[in-house]
Structures are given as structure tokens and as C-alpha cells.
């Protein structure tokens, strides 16, 4: 997920640079085009992160539901296995929460960088 986000941001920057170098428009028009492009990039990044977060939440719900189904229908599961499953769920939840926190920090950093770049252009 990090690679695709990094690729997206790099593509956005390379495209913007190429547009500046090859654009026949005036400086003011080019800056406005860049601002619009950055805004579109920010919106796409937000959508990507929102989709990723929704998938993580669905995954957690699926794990909980399937575990509950196993526990309720699988009376043959011994207590030790049930505890193993519950521990695996706790570990998965922690890992997903950490990944979500990393994504949010990364998003804040990238948006801050983009806003600083945009302010520098003004």
C-alpha cells in the first residue's frame, strides 16, 4: 500500500514538473493549473486512504464474524484453540490499528508538504 501511495505522489510530482516545463501557458496560468492539479491529487489521496480504511474495518468485522460463527457452531473446538483464535484476532486488530495510524501520519505529512509547496508557489 505504501508503494502505490508513494508511486501516486511521485507520478503527481513528475506530471506537474513536466507540465511546467512543457506548458505554453503563462506563469499565472501554469500556477493555477498546478494548484488545481494538486487539489485533485489531494482529493484522490483522501479517497484512496478512505477506501483503504474501509477495507481494514471490513476485514476486522469479517474476522470477528467468522470467529464467532466458528465458536458458536464449532462446539468441538477446545478451549485452547478458542483462546488461540482470540489472541490472533487481538494481534490482527493491533496490527491493523498500527497500520491505520501509520497511514494517517503519512497522510498528514504529505498534506503538510503539499500545502507548504503550494504556499511557496504563492
Residue-wise pLDDT tens digits, 27-68: 777 778 778 888 888 888 888 888 888 888 888 888 888 888
Cα separation, 39 vs 41, in Å, equals 5
CA 20 to chain centre: 28
List % helix, strand, coil for the chain (3-state, nearest 5): 90, 0, 10
Closest CA to 45 of 95, 96, 4: 4
How many whole angstroms separate alpha carbon 49 and alpha carbon 107? 8
77 confidence band (pLDDT: 50, 70, 90): low
Task: Answer whether 0.85 is exceeded by the pTM.
Answer: no
Amino acid at each position: 500500500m505504501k508503494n502505490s501511495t508513494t508511486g501516486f505522489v511521485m507520478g503527481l510530482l513528475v506530471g506537474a514538473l513536466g507540465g511546467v516545463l512543457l506548458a505554453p501557458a503563462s506563469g499565472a496560468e501554469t500556477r493555477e493549473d498546478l494548484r488545481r492539479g494538486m487539489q485533485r491529487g489531494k482529493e484522490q489521496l483522501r479517497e484512496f486512504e478512505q477506501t483503504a480504511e474501509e477495507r481494514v474495518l471490513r476485514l476486522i468485522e469479517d474476522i470477528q464474524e467468522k470467529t464467532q460463527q466458528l465458536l458458536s457452531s464449532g462446539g468441538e473446538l477446545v478451549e485452547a484453540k478458542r483462546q488461540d483464535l482470540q489472541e490472533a484476532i487481538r494481534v490482527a486488530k493491533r496490527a491493523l490499528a498500527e497500520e491505520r495510524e501509520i497511514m494517517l501520519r503519512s497522510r498528514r505529512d504529505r498534506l503538510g508538504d503539499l500545502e507548504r509547496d503550494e504556499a511557496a508557489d504563492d
